[in-house]
Amino acid sequence: SQNGSLSDNTNWAQSGNGTASDDGKLLNAALVALVRNSELSDMRSTIRQIEDRFNRNHGYPYIFLNDEDFTEEFKEQVRAVANSPVYFGKLPQEHWGLSPYVTGEKVKEALERNKDRYLYGGSFSYREMCRFQSGFIHKHPLLQNLDYYWRIEPGVEYFCDIPYDPFKYMRDNNLIYGFTITPTESAPTVETLWKTTREWMLENPHLLPDKSFIHWVVNEKAKYTLCHFWSNFEIVDLSFYRSEAYESYFQHLDRAGGFFYERWGDAPVHSMAASILLKKEQIHWFEDIGYHHPGYAHCPNKPEMKSRCVCKDNLDYMYKSMCNRRFGEVGNIYKDQALALAQM
């Protein structure tokens, strides 16, 4: 079913085992990864863990996307480790590649200039990937009918048993965006992201909510804190990415060229959008989901959470993280205050 639609399949929604605490029905949700054929073994490792920690009790489908065709080997071996329906999709050409708003010549210069300045500074494909995850992943035909996605990546680790359904937790608590880790972004990759964002806010006040969590990403002096949710894990109500405000914001960013001329990541972009368009109550730290992606890890330290985990080390990054502390401390501010920050 390389390009099949989820709605073609009427069985998967009833195929879960459910748990004692819910009605056994699955939400319209899936585990989703953009991945390369070469990452097969790491992808299987992630799926094995997701199955063991969570999904064997539910049977949520998986969706794997790739800018190239998946090999038969990839599909077979991924299907063999997943215990639920698996869909493979290829990206539409217009969702990958150079943005129509940048020129190849200037992009070449930017890669040359930045190749030793930061990680992936000279990589073209990394920039295609970040732009895709920022503006197009939710538009893929396989995701069109989904209400929620849980983004997964090859080679990550899940340390803790997850004895409930995080999708239902999102729904039951009116949550839009869920995360596990909040680092600070490398400044030279996002030199003009906040400047470009504030331009969009000032041009589109009608798309801003009455209250927002913007103070998490910019401080009292309207300086970008570089705080972001690490999007290699994210559980999101996709109506957020499909909203008029998000699309307008993405278009504005794309036109500014920063996905290619700089190296704007989908993590700072999603996070900036969540902070300016959502309220704090709509954003959730899944503190109980112990997680590792190369670079950072989180292991819960609360006894009732920790007892379900097998952490290799004392992975207390999130209990020291400036951005996590800030997440706890700051609250929502009103739209006129947000606009004042954008004007500073």
Known catalytic membership, residue 234: yes
Give the contacts of 47 (CB within 8 A, at least 6 positions apart): 62, 78, 81, 82, 152
36 binds, among ligand GDP, Mn ion, none (CB under 5 to 8 A by kind): ligand GDP
15 contacts 85 by C-beta, under 8 angstroms: yes
Q: How far is the CB of 141 from ligand GDP (least distance, A)?
A: 16
**Which residues of the shown chain bind ligand GDP in the complex (CB under 6 A)?**
33-36, 39, 66-67, 125, 129, 153-154, 232
66 binds, among ligand GDP, Mn ion, none (CB under 5 to 8 A by kind): ligand GDP
**Which residues of the shown chain bind Mn ion in the complex (CB under 5 A)?**
153, 232
191 binds, among ligand GDP, Mn ion, none (CB under 5 to 8 A by kind): none
CA 13/CA 26 separation, integer angstroms: 6
288 binds, among Mn ion, ligand GDP, none (CB under 5 to 8 A by kind): none
Name the residue nearer to Mn ion (CB basis): 27 or 40: 40
Give the contacts of 58 (CB within 8 A, at least 6 positions apart): 16, 17, 18, 19, 26, 84, 165
Q: How far is the CB of 94 from Mn ion (least distance, A)?
A: 24
Active-site residue, selected from the candidate residues 39, 51, 128, 234:
234
Q: How far is the CB of 280 from Mn ion (least distance, A)?
A: 27
Q: How far is the CB of 124 from Mn ion (least distance, A)?
A: 17
Which residues belong to the active site?
Answer: 234
